[in-house]
Amino acid sequence: MSALDLAAINKIEDESSSSSIDQQNDDNKKVSIAFPIKIFRILAITDLFELGTIDFRFDVILWNFSNLSACLHLWLYLFISACIGVYCCFHFWAYKRLSFIPIVSSLNTTEKSNKKPTSLLIFDSIWFTFYCLYIGLFLFFPVHYILAENYPIVTRIIILIEQV
């Protein structure tokens, strides 16, 4: 066998292995499309036999997404507060607390150097209190806002999942 024959055989083997991967991806796409179609057919047949007409209740779907813009505004506020606000506060706390830790030389170690200074404990306690307050507000305000605005189920789920 010549080098050209071996190159041709390797090329054919590579194409067949990549085509099997493509075949699996195509099968996954087909299943993900076929599943909603099957559910759609089952619902249509059930409605036809039970009610005598096909009623997909698009009004319920529209009602569930009726307040979506206000829901996305609240979700964006929650996301920004969690990402930017908490990150900046933790960053400040982590680097500012280093200034409260006394520098102890390795030659002069005592048992007292193993204890945390009082100023560091007060600083950590204050920031822990702020964090607990933030968690409490993060749990209270979205639920209060959802109940006050009387959001539909889908938009409630979008907001409540953001809290998790």
Q: Where is pLDDT greater, at 100 or 41? A: 41
Output the DSSP codes for 82-149.
Answer: IIIIHHHHHHHHHHHGGGGSPP--TTS--GGGGSPPHHHHHHHHHHHHHHHHHHHHHHHHHHHHHHHH
Instruction: Give the pLDDT confidence score for residue 126 in this predicted structure.
Output: 92
3-state DSSP call for residue 7?
A: helix
Residues 6+ apart with CB under 8 A from 1: none
Q: Which two tokens stand for residue 36?
A: 């909603």
pLDDT at 114: 61
**Residue 89 pLDDT > 70:** yes
What are the residue boundaries of the structural domains of the chain, listed by start? 3-56, 66-163
pLDDT confidence band for 144 (50 / 70 / 90): very high
* pLDDT confidence of residue 25: 67
Confidence of residue 110 (pLDDT cuts 50, 70, 90): low
Q: Which residue has the higher pLDDT, 101 or 67?
A: 67
Residues 131-141: tens digit of each pLDDT: 999 999 888 98
pLDDT at position 136? 92
Query: Which of 133, 148, 131 is closest to 93 using CA atoms?
Result: 131
Q: What is the mean pLDDT of residues 28-40?
A: 80
Residue 124: how many other CB atoms lie within 10 Å: 14
Q: What is the pLDDT of residue 133?
A: 94
- Is the CB of residue 47 less than 8 Å from the CB of residue 54? yes
Using pLDDT thresholds of 50, 70 and 90, give the confidence band for residue 60.
confident
3-state secondary structure 71-89: HHHHHHHHHHHHHHHHHHH
* DSSP 8-state code for residue 150: T
Question: How far apart (Å, rounded) are the C-alpha atoms in residues 121 and 141?
Answer: 30
Question: Which of 102, 125, 97, 121 minimizes the C-alpha distance to 112?
Answer: 102
Mean pLDDT of 14-23: 61
pTM recorded for the entire structure: 0.56
Residue 56 has pLDDT above 80, yes or no: no
